[in-house]
Amino acid sequence: MQDLRVTLVQTHLVWEDVDANLAAFGRLIDSLADETDLIVLPEMFTTGFSMQAAALAEDMEGPTLAWLREKSARRGADLVGGAMMHCDDGYVNRLLWVKPDGRVLWYDKCHLLGVAGEDKVYTPGTRRLTVTLKGWHIRPFICYDLRFPAWTRNADTPPYDLALFIANWPRRRALHWKALLVARAIENQCYVVGVNRIGSDGNGNDHCGDSMVIDPLGNVLFQKRDFPALHTATLSYAKLQAWRQAFGALADADPQLCV
């Protein structure tokens, strides 16, 4: 199995300005010198973590998805980012996964942040998504999902190899972000990539980033706080498999919790 190259994009977001954010991320992606297989952008990367879905949500034919397709095709890499989208029941906080040939997969955030009123605006997702890339099985999640280990449990056959978390996670809970990302890597015996934003949003929330790459043993391979980052990490499938074979904890998991 080949190694996987993953690029994290951590930066400021312009509050509720789709055009400005698409332009800024476009410049960053165009400037990327590294060869990569997967580029990961934050949750709601076009607006920030806004509840103004009635004014800002797009459909699957809108400018954000068109932009993602164009950038993915140009780079020849899978491209992941989050946006507020229309759905049959109203609105969803959606992770969009675009492949260079134009195919689109998506995951709708399951756990909605009640203290921010997210559950009053958006409809929760009900299904997980697993994407295969270069033979790797990858499971994406969104922000608050990180707190719920039953939802992220690595119980499928075959197990997933990489968990992605895209976020607008505030500075005041940064300790939780860092601890939970490491915990998810250790308990699921997988790589974890967390991509967060920096800067303040329109609600006065400050974000310090702390985008991270963590290996299956819980070692932090990359972390960046408070500054923009365009970082490409190479994940070793041989290292992942060696650890799973040496310490087969996934085989001993409690079956009643494997939901």
Tokens read off for 32: 């990327």
pLDDT at 256: 59
pLDDT digits (tens, 9 = 90+) for 5-21: 999 999 999 999 999 99
pLDDT at 257: 54
pLDDT digits (tens, 9 = 90+) for 155-199: 999 999 999 999 999 999 999 999 999 999 999 999 999 999 999
Class of domain 4-247: alpha beta
The low-confidence residues of the chain, meaning pLDDT below 50, are 258-259
Q: Which residues are catalytic?
A: 43, 109, 143
pLDDT at 253: 87
Tell me the average pLDDT of the chain. 96
Q: Name the residue ranges covered by the structural domains of the chain.
A: 4-247
Q: Is the peptide bond before 158 cis (omega within 30 degrees of 0)?
A: yes
Tokens read off for 15: 């509050």
pLDDT at 258: 46
Among 91, 94, 69, residue whose Cα is nearest residue 79? 69
pLDDT at 221: 98
pLDDT at 151: 97
Count, residues in the chain: 259
Half-sphere exposure of 24 (CA within 13 A, CB side): 18
Q: Kindly calculate the radius of gyration of the chain based on its CA atoms and give it in whole angstroms.
A: 17
